[in-house]
Structure formats: C-alpha cells, structure tokens
Amino acid sequence: MIEILIAVGLLMLVIGLICLFADASGLGFFFGTIGAYILSGGIMMNQESHKPKAMDVYKGKTTLEITYKDGVPIDSVVVFKDKEK
C-alpha cells in the first residue's frame, strides 16, 4: 500500500514537471504540489513501518537492548531480532 502511495506521488510530480515545461503553469503547480504531499506522506508512513509494534513484541520478533553505566542500567530500547539466525 505504501509503495503504491509513493509511486502515485512520483507520477504526479512528473506530470507536474511536464505541465510546467509545456507552459501550463497552473496545472503543473497543482500536480506538483499534490504529488509532493502524497510523496512525503508515503515516505513518512514507510519510516514508521520499520519501528517495532506491540504485536511484534508479543510474537517474539523483538528483543530488549539495555545500556549499562558502571553496572547500572540507564537505558533500554526494543529492537528487532536478527533475521539471519
């Protein structure tokens, strides 16, 4: 779904550029602006999909990394387990 959103955004940007070069500046600005919004939304959604969700923890796909300082835990973060195992 996210890939389709990114592809549509890129397509609208290209259409906007073609319209700008074809001297249809109003139409080019419209397609370019809408394409940029769709593309940026798709990229942001794609970035969010790489973060562990609660269901990933429940299914055992994640592990907890703990940072220690002088033997005292000071930070922890949930990360995906290595897929190579």
Query: Is the domain of 65 the same as that of 83?
Result: yes
Q: How far apart are CA 8 and CA 14, in angstroms?
A: 10
Domain total for the chain? 2
Q: Which residues of the chain have pLDDT under 50?
A: none
Q: Which helix (H) or strand (E) holds 73?
A: strand 72-80
Query: Is the domain of 65 the same as that of 44?
Result: no
pLDDT of residue 26: 83
Provide the terminal-to-terminal Cα distance of the chain, rounded to the nearest Å: 29
pLDDT of residue 31: 85
Q: How far apart are CA 17 and CA 36, in angstroms?
A: 12
What is the average pLDDT value for the chain, to the nearest integer?
85
pLDDT of residue 72: 93
Q: Which domain holds residue 14?
A: 2-48
pLDDT of residue 70: 93
pLDDT of residue 50: 74
pLDDT of residue 27: 83
Q: Are 29 and 15 in contact (CB under 8 A)?
A: no
Query: Is the domain of 44 the same as that of 6?
Result: yes
